[in-house]
Structure 1
């Protein structure tokens, strides 16, 4: 994933997360149960954290243009946002409990994304690219 694409997707995800957080706090507070509101807020939290992760990956692409693993990490992080947060948003709004079974797939994508970033940084540290 290109640097500018990463940053655009990060900004859009932050925009969505801030809007979803405000919507949950104001628009859904009277509609959802406390448990489902907590599910909603978990989705918002993880979307925000990983949108910042995408932003960081975009910035790193400028510093390490030859590190293709950063692009793979960004794709995994975006996939994680869509699956993890998306399934929790859908669960909170619909009450369809089996959607919670999809959520861990997004969590694994987050782990893979952060692992790829760690591996990329480690490889750069131990190579002659310093």
Structure 2
């Protein structure tokens, strides 16, 4: 499980860096400053959670089952939170309906918060 979490964290981090570079260079002339800033929020939270997964993978206080729960919370949370932010910030370039995408952001955010609180609980409850 540690290797799986580590590999997912590394891919998530690499994709965040690629998207950050794409936003800074590729989208610079296509989006407004506000849209670029919003896109950057998605990148930032994705990289934060890639680093969080690196911490989880290398933490001996969590069981494999607990690590698995955190992994799923983070991956689904990043997909919903950062993914929806990427889509919402680039909606001027696509024909996507924002009413369908907008509600995904807070759900993803709640999953990310839950992952941190779950780790807190696991460490706090450890004998």
Instruction: Indicate whether the TM-score tops 0.5.
Output: yes
Measure the CA separation in 1 of the matches of 2:65 and 2:120: 13
- Displacement of 1:65: 6.1
Q: Structure 1, unaligned stretches of length 5 or more?
A: none
For 1:97, the equivalent position in structure 2 comes to 98
TM-score of the superposition, structure 2-length normalised?
A: 0.89
Structure 2 CA distance for partners of 1:104 and 1:8, relative to 1, 3 Å: same
Moved over 3 A (4+): 64-67
For 1:27, the equivalent position in structure 2 comes to 26
For 1:110, the equivalent position in structure 2 comes to 112
- Displacement of 1:34: 1.5
SS of aligned partner of 1:11: helix
- Displacement of 1:123: 1.2
The one of 73, 76, 87 equivalent to 1:76 is: 73
TM-score of the superposition, structure 1-length normalised?
A: 0.87
The number of residue pairs the alignment matches comes to 122
Measure the CA separation in 2 of the matches of 1:121 and 1:65: 7
